[in-house]
Every structure is written in structure tokens, then in C-alpha cells.
Structure 1
Amino acid sequence: MRLTLPLAASTGAQTDLLLLGLLAVSLAVLGLVFWLMLVYAIRYRHNSPVDRGALAEKSFRFEISWTVATLVIFFGLFIWGSTIYVRLYQPPANALKVYVVAKQWMWKIEHAGGQREINALHIPVDTPIELIMTSEDVIHDFFVPAFRVKRDVLPGQYETMWFRPDRIGTYHLFCSQFCGTAHSNMIGDVVVMSAQDYAGWLTTSGGGKTLAAQGKGLFIRYGCAGCHLGGGTVRAPSLVGLYGSPVPLSDGSTAIADDRYIRDSIMQPKSQVVASYEPIMPSFANVIGEDDLVRLVAYIHSLAAEKHG
């Protein structure tokens, strides 16, 4: 009978080490407290000859020492934990992007090649994977215990998470946020494959048109091309080469044109207006669904290559 939880991602080793550190410190504090309780219980027991009338001399040196030592230990744990947390928000530039749309009660997976999955995620081993996630309805939570990753998936915005699987196999996927009556059924599998098997799976899964190609059709259907690809009568910023670039805003700040920024610009165009442009773009909230948003974002991402191609 296997009692240990498998570790199948290189990004999870630091998480395990941090938890062991927290456990060790907690046990040390617990042991110290119980040891002091035992000492005082014996020392000042009934009929003990110890003088209880004299006041002990107060030592600020002792109090300051243990207070500073405790502060240093726990501050060190805080820095350690926050470093790991921040690292999970900064995927490598070469990470393989996969889009995840949560819905009561399923996980919808979209690959760049157009392959689609329900409650399953096929990925190659030893490759950084970046998940771009959103929800169509309520708050969900993407949790893969073997990878030591867990992230809330929120409606109306993108959340990102990355990991690097280093063991071939099939691992459980859960929603760890109560999301309704069939919450317990919102489960799936993450299948980690060799590079060769993954390439074969992409071919046999038949994606058809890529996400970017599907997004191009939507870009034209919703009338975006007339304004944002030039040649139109409306003055709007060009989207060619936009992805990943800094965008100066009308309030003097600067935003990076990542997946989250592009999605927000489509759904809430007046929240971050580009400098020197009028806020005339209509909102597409309640017009474009999350699945189509994924395709539009993928298409705008592909336009970055046109500028550098």
C-alpha cells in the first residue's frame, strides 16, 4: 500500500521542502512549549521546596534574544515561501501555453493546435507548461496534487499557473473549491507523455484549424479587423506585434500586453485606454463567450510573429 503522495513535477520539490521546514519549525516550537510546561509542572509542584515568594529578576537580554531569533526564523520562512509563490507567477518564455476554461462541472482544455479535451490534459514531459485559466460561471480551483500546484480559477478574468512535469504517467486533477451540487464530479486526468508520444497524440487528436486560425475568423466576424488592422475609418491602435509589448495608457501608466490585458481590453475596453486614442471601442461583455475569447487572444498573440517575421 502506497502512503506517499507522488511527486511528478520539478517545480513541486521546493514546495515539499518548504512544507517540511514549516513542519520542523512548528514541531520545535511545540516541543519547547511542552518542555517548559513539564519543567514548571515539576519544579512548582505541590510540596516543592522552591521559594515562590521572591520575584525573579527580569532579563531583557533573554527576552530580546528569543524574540529576535523567532522573528528571524519566521521572516526567513516568509521570504522562502513568497519566493516560491512569485516564481509560479513567472512562467519561462518558452513555456507551452494551454488554455483552460472551467464550467460547472467540467474542465475544458484548448491547445494551440486546436485540439480540445474535456476533463483531461495531455502534455509532454520535461517541458514547462503555462496554463491560462478562466471560469464561465463560479469560482473553481485547478489542483494537481502530484505537481503541488493549486490555483483559483475566477470568472471574468485570467489566472495563470505553470509547472514542469518530469515523470511520465497519469495524475489526478481536482476542483478543490466547492462550486455547486456536482462539485465532486469535477475531476479529470493530467497525462504526461514522452515528446514522441505527445507529437503522435497531437496528430491523432485532429485539431483541424489552430486556435489562432479560428480566432482570425472571429476577429473578422466581430468587426475587429476594420479598426485594428488598418485601412478603416476609425483610428484604433494596431494589434500587429502588440503581444508582449509595453502599452502606454492614457492615465500615464504602462501595461504589458499579455493574455490578461488583451482579454480585459475586449471585455472592458474603457478600463485601460491606450494613450492618444479615444475610448470609443464598445464592450463585448456578454457578447463573446470564454471559448471564443481564448481563440481571439491566441490570434492576437500570433500577430506578434508577423512584426518580427
Structure 2
Amino acid sequence: MNPPVEILPAASSAAGPFDLLMLALLLLSTLMAVALALMVIGFSIRFRAGSRAERPGPVRHRRAIEYAWTGIPLLLFCAIYAWAAYDYAQLFRPPAGAMPVFVVAKQWMWKLEHRNGRREIGELHVPLGQPVRLVMTSQDVIHSFFVPAFRLKQDVVPGRYTTLAFTATKLGRFHLFCAEYCGTEHSLMRGEIVVMRPAEFEQWLQQGADTPGIAARGFALYRRYGCSGCHEPGSSVHAPSLAHLVGRTVHLQDGRTLVADENYVRDSILLPRKDIVAGYGPDMPSFAGQISEEDLLAIIAYIREKPDER
């Protein structure tokens, strides 16, 4: 007997909660629509022309009814908003051991790179049951990373990084689309997510490990562009330490504090005068136009894993 055909399978950890939320919204909307329709039909029949129904004058003060029709929908709206906000926030809170994948979108393809340096175009291989964290940017225009079976959609924007976390829960191949019109060949910007058993994924991943890992490539770029000449302990230039930078709280010259993430590191390289660290001068030169998006991601991967300074 052939297995049933799934039109849109729920293939990620996000799919179940979002499907449940959508079902709740559908049921609530249906309930309200049916209730209003029945009231319209009932009043139309009862107060039709020629009926003997009593028609007293309008009642101008029914505070309880006014509070009810205002308060109950408001409470329902707030409850649904909190529910949806919680589920949405989980997409950006990956577990500590989530597998990083770096994504660069361009007209009209998806370019992806794993931590060990294995690269893909138009396909993303991931292990079943293991959390994955995507760090995404665009090389040209706005794109949108859309996987219907995973119930995931995230804009990919030039000039900044967006992130997305998921855990695949079904084996197979699932469609990847660009859901933002991005030019003449937008409809051809398609791909696939390939979900594999963990052991098979590790074997597949190691087949492309002959190239240096992304962090190793980032270290080479870090030295090539002269970053080590200022940010290492023995340098003659007074510059902030980069050890354990990503995730660390940074105090800025103007009194603000922020938690360093990929966007902060990117801005520090391309727009160094935007957020100057407290106790340091605006001496960092801008590398805008000199470093490609893929090389920026490699440098950030190295800084994320940068060991303690001796």
C-alpha cells in the first residue's frame, strides 16, 4: 500500500506550533463569522416587516455590553499576540550547540557554506533532529529565504545580517524559494533543503573537508587585512581585544551598551565610526568596498571562535 501523499508536510520544529496557531486563528475567525451571521439572520427574521416583535426605543446606556464587546476581543487579541510572539521569538533563540551555516543570496542563487568550509549552491544539507542556525546576508538586493514545509520565511537584506534557527524533523528534500521579487529571474531562484540522518550527514560533510574551514579562512583574511597588527596583545596600536567578542557586552564611547553580534562586527569593519568602544579613539580605517560578503562572514566566524589571548 502506497503511503499517503503529503501536500505540505510539517518538517521542522517550527511547523507544529505555527500550524496550531493558524488553526486557532481559523477556528476563532470561523466562530465569530458564524455567530455574526446567525445574529444577522435571526434579527432579520424576527424584525422583518409585518412581524409582531416588540420594537421598544433604543437603550442608550448598557455599560456591561459595551465593556464586553470591547474587552473580550481585546483580551483575545492580546492572548493571540503573546502566543504568536513567543513562537516567533524561538526562531531567533537557537540552542548553544546549533550548527552554523552561512548564507549569501545574490541574483539569482543561494550560496551556502558550512563551518568546515564545504560550500553549496542552491542546496542545503542538514542533519535530522539537530538545530541549525543560519546567518544570512544579500550581495545585491533584498531576497527572502522561504521553506514552506518548515513554515519559515526570513528576509535576506544587503548591508546587514539576519538569522534564523530551525530543527528538521523529517527526512527528505524540501523546496526552498525566494519569496521577495528580486529581478527578472526571481522565479528561477529555487533550491532544496536536504535532510539526512546524522551519520550520513557527517559522512557527506567530511567529503568536502579538503578546503580549510570557514574560521581558518577567516584567520588568514584577518592577517591579510592587517587586523592582527592592531588587535593582538603585542601590537603597538591601542585597539580593543576581539577574544570572545561575539556575545559580549560592549561599552561605547557615547555611554551606550550593546551585545556584540554579527551585525556589530560587520559594522565595526565597514563603518568603524558608528559604534566606537569606550576608551578608544576613532582610529579604525573603513574596509567598505574592499571585503566581499563571503570574506566578511569568514572573518566573523574566526572572531566568534577566537581563542584567549596570551
TM-score, with normalisation over the residues of structure 1? 0.95
* 1:38 and 2:18 correspond: no
* 1:245 and 2:239 correspond: no
Q: CA RMSD in A?
A: 1.7
* Count of aligned residue pairs for this structure pair: 307
Matches within 5 A, 1:205-224: 205-224=208-227
2:275 is matched with 272
1:291 is matched with 294
1:119 is matched with 122
Paired residue secondary structure (2:125): strand
2:193 is matched with 190
2:296 aligned partner, one-letter code = L
Any unmatched runs of 5+ in structure 1?
Answer: none
Alpha-carbon separation, structure 2, partners of 1:57 and 1:266: 66
Matches within 5 A, 1:1-309: 2=5, 4-52=7-55, 54-56=57-59, 58-303=61-306, 306-307=307-308
Say whether the 8 Å CA contact 2:175–2:193 is kept in structure 1: yes
Per-residue CA deviations over 1:117-159 (Å, capped at 9, x if unaligned) read 0011011111110000000111100011111111011100000
Per-residue CA deviations over 1:223-251 (Å, capped at 9, x if unaligned) read 11101113332211121232322111112
Alpha-carbon separation, structure 2, partners of 1:43 and 1:58: 23
Alpha-carbon separation, structure 2, partners of 1:249 and 1:55: 64
Per-residue CA deviations over 1:70-127 (Å, capped at 9, x if unaligned) read 2111110011011111221211111111000000100000111000000110111111
Alpha-carbon separation, structure 1, partners of 2:223 and 2:309: 23
Alpha-carbon separation, structure 2, partners of 1:165 and 1:296: 28
Paired residue secondary structure (1:10): coil
Per-residue CA deviations over 1:156-205 (Å, capped at 9, x if unaligned) read 00000100111111111011111111000011000011111011101222
2:225 aligned partner, one-letter code = Y
Paired residue secondary structure (2:183): coil
Percent identity over the alignment is 44
Alpha-carbon separation, structure 2, partners of 1:10 and 1:133: 20
Q: Which stretches of structure 1, 4 residues or more, deviate above 6 A after TM superposition?
A: none
Per-residue CA deviations over 1:7-63 (Å, capped at 9, x if unaligned) read 111222111111111111111111121111111211122222234463346422122
2:251 aligned partner, one-letter code = P
Alpha-carbon separation, structure 1, partners of 2:83 and 2:116: 37
Any unmatched runs of 5+ in structure 2?
Answer: none
Say whether the 8 Å CA contact 1:229–1:240 is kept in structure 2: no
